Structures are given as C-alpha cells and as structure tokens.
Amino acid sequence: MTTIAIIGAGPGVGLAVARRFGREGFAVALLSRRQTSVDELAATLESEGVTARGFAADVRDPESVERALASASASLGPIEVLQYSPLPQREFLRPVLETSREDFATALQFSLFGAMAATQQVLEDMRSTGRGTLVFVNGGTAARPRTDFAGTSVAFAAESAYASTLHDALKQDGIHVTQLIIPGAIPAEDPERGPAAVADRIWQLHRERDGFRHFLTPMDED
C-alpha cells in the first residue's frame, strides 16, 4: 500500500482529500501541530474503512516534519503523494508596512523551509518506487501579491519558485510537482469551491500529471 501524507490536515480540505485518496486505496498520514486533532481525523477515516494515522508536526520545526514523515512511511508504507497545505497564520495577513522582518522570517519558515524539509524527507521513497507527486496548495496571493496580506504574498512567492524549480528538476525521476492555487475562501457546501471539489482536483492533478500551476477557479480581475 502506498501513502498520501497531508501536511496541514484539518476537518475541511484535509479530511476531504484523505477520503478521496482513501477511496483509491491509499493509506493516509495526517500531519498537524496537535496530535489530538489528527488522531480524531484518523479515527473518523478508520471508521469509514480508510487506513489512516495522525502524526504531530510543526512546519516551523523542520526536524519534527522529518520525524513525522519518517514514522508515516515506516508504519503505513512508502509516501507516493505529499500535499503541503498548512493554513497561514494571522500574522502573515498584515499590511506590508505593518509587517516586521521577524514576521516575514516566520512566514518563510512556514511556507518555504517547512516545504523544503517535507520534500527532502519524502524524495527517497519516491525515487525508490520511481513515481510520486508533490502538491503545493496556496491561496491567491501566490499568484497576485496583496499589500494587505504581505506575509503570504512574499512567502507564497518563495514557495512557488521553489516548487516550480522542483517541477523541472524532478521530471527525470518520475516525480510530478504541481501547485494548486485556491483564490478566496473554501465554502463547506460549495460544489465548485468546497473541500470535496478541492479534493477531486488534487486527485486529478495526481492522475493527469499535466503542467505545474493550476487554479481551482479563475481569479477575479482587479
């Protein structure tokens, strides 16, 4: 059995993606800061017949991400799909003139350095099996910076550049790197923008392996 690891797993998109991939026979590793939260999600999935386990990890602590992913691979099977989608924190959503150097540094730890630690940890599994998918999920500021959301605008741009270069560098290893940009909110029951729609799109990106940057829905014009 191969595994999808979801970093930033929660009861919305994370759970929906876990269910979608679980239906396709994947085991699911759920990573988030609070062990109790991911244990609850794993129990829900197990009750639905999906093999799942929760692992505590903080993306601002690269070693915790590495340990969690190593444990996931050892207990569930090699990681074939990595979804990097931690939810940005409030201090990343400030106007640029109110955002300190420390705020920017934290945002980069969250979006770039955490993503790097996760990627480097799963590459061995993916290279050994000759296949894999890395999915980076970002908000609209990854494509269109906003002066009022300075932290994500800068950090998502760095994460996007990193992921784009991975897309080119890992093709030869059979590893597909893709980015899904979700403009705006994710309404729970919306058939086009809700968690189930996001999960279906991520499954499609994994299966079709077509190009790097994709949008869940078109971005509004300024």
The per-residue pLDDT for range 69-95, each reduced to its tens digit, is: 999 999 999 999 999 999 887 777 899
Say what angle helices 13-23 and 195-208 make with each other, to 10 degrees. Answer: 50
Amino acid making up residue 135: V
Give the mean model confidence (pLDDT) for residues 5-19: 97
- In angstroms, rounded to a whole number, what is the distance separating the alpha carbons of residues 142 and 160? 7
pTM of the model: 0.95
Phi, psi of 125 (to 5 degrees): -60, -45
Tell me, what's the pLDDT at 45? 98
- pLDDT at residue 160 greater than cutoff 60: yes
Q: Residue 20: CB partners within 8 Å, gap ≥ 6?
A: 196, 199, 200, 202, 203
Average pLDDT of the segment spanning 107-120: 97
pLDDT of 59 higher than 60: yes
> Confidence band (pLDDT; 50, 70, 90) for 187?
confident
Mean pLDDT score across all residues of the chain: 95
What is the separation, in whole angstroms, between the first and last Cα of the chain? 46
Tell me the pLDDT tens digit for each residue of 23-53.
999 999 999 999 999 999 999 999 999 999 9
Instruction: Give which of 42, 141, 126, 147 is closest to 78, Cα–Cα.
Output: 126
Domain 3-215 part of CATH 3.40.50.970: no
What mean pLDDT is predicted for residues 162-176?
Answer: 96
The confidence score (pLDDT) of residue 219 equals 84
pLDDT at res. 89: 78
Given pLDDT bands bounded at 50, 70 and 90, which one contains residue 10?
Answer: very high
pLDDT band at 215 (very low <50, low <70, confident <90, very high): very high
Give yes or no for residue 222 having a pLDDT over 70.
no
pLDDT at 9 over 80: yes
Backbone dihedral region for residue 173 (phi beyond 0: left; psi -120 to 50: alpha; all else: beta): alpha
In whole angstroms, what is the distance from residue 169 CA to residue 117 CA?
17
| pLDDT score of 221 | 56
Q: Compute the average pLDDT of residues 57-75.
A: 97
Question: What does the domain layout of the chain look like in residue ranges?
Answer: 3-215
